[in-house]
Chain A
Amino acid sequence: MRSVFYMLDVAPYGSEKAYGLLNAAAVSIKMDVIVGLYADGVYLALAGQDSRALGVPNLSDTIYAYPEMRVIAHEPSLAKRGLFSQSLIERVELVDDERFIEEAVASDSVIVL
């Protein structure tokens, strides 16, 4: 297996899922890794996250720390949540339905935690 698509479809804070997914993606960077943000997962694309009051790591730091990971966000999910005009992490790529599916299908495996 040479490529992995990790899909996050839940909000980044409030459960361990996003943290676990990003850690798994980070250790997989010897392969081609894409983190796909879908549904509530797109909240991870927002710039200026500050999780100090929650007492958990700032997950956007992981995105900045691993440029080897491609991060794509499903644009319709952002639009449906009224986030389209918000500032996003610079290196998150916005993709439409078709492109999101294409990226997932092109990967050797799709992992949803």
Chain B
Amino acid sequence: MATLTIILTDGPYISECAEMAVKIAKAALVHHKVNIFLYLDAVHIPKGSQNPVHFVNIGRLFEELASNGATIRACPRCAAARGYQAADGVCQEYLPGIEITSLYDLAEMLKESDKVIALSK
């Protein structure tokens, strides 16, 4: 089984990157392993209390991806800078299945990947 890693750096609504990542990941999960690394402003994507009025709730889509088998990790430095704290990877403000771990996880994801897509505006 081939592995795809997607790197995101934008917040959930400033661009369509997060939504594109969901569509790509959803399709890829049918036959492949999918990793997603949330970097820089993308660490806002899994915030649990999102309530967009005119847009789809991106956080919920990522929660669904995680429950369907995607490995989704967030950068701890970026998360801490934006007020998200984690204990053993688990952040109370995050939706289930998405952890704040280590930037070294990005390197590991890249190493095990057959393809990498970085989406950024």
A-to-B contact residues, CB < 8 Å: 1-2, 4, 16-17, 20, 23-24, 27-28, 30-31, 109, 111-113
Contacts and interface: CB of A to CB of B under 8 A. Distances in A.
Interface stretch (B25-33, B50-58, B85-93, B102-110): B102-110
Interface of B: 7, 9, 39-40, 77-78, 103-104, 106-107, 110-116, 118, 120
Contacts, number: 49
A113 B9 contact: yes
Residue with the greatest number of chain A CB neighbours at <10 A, chosen from B7, B40, B106, B112? B40
Given A112-B120, A113-B120, A1 B40 contact: no
Contacts of B111: 1-2, 30-31
A4 B110 contact: yes
B106 A27 contact: yes
A112 B88 CA distance: 30
A27 B107 contact: yes
B6 to A, nearest CB: 11
Given A27-B103, A27-B106, A112-B120, A20 B114 contact: no
Given A28-B106, A112-B120, 8 more contacts: A1-B116, A2-B111, A20-B40, A23-B103, A24-B39, A109-B113, A109-B115, A111-B7
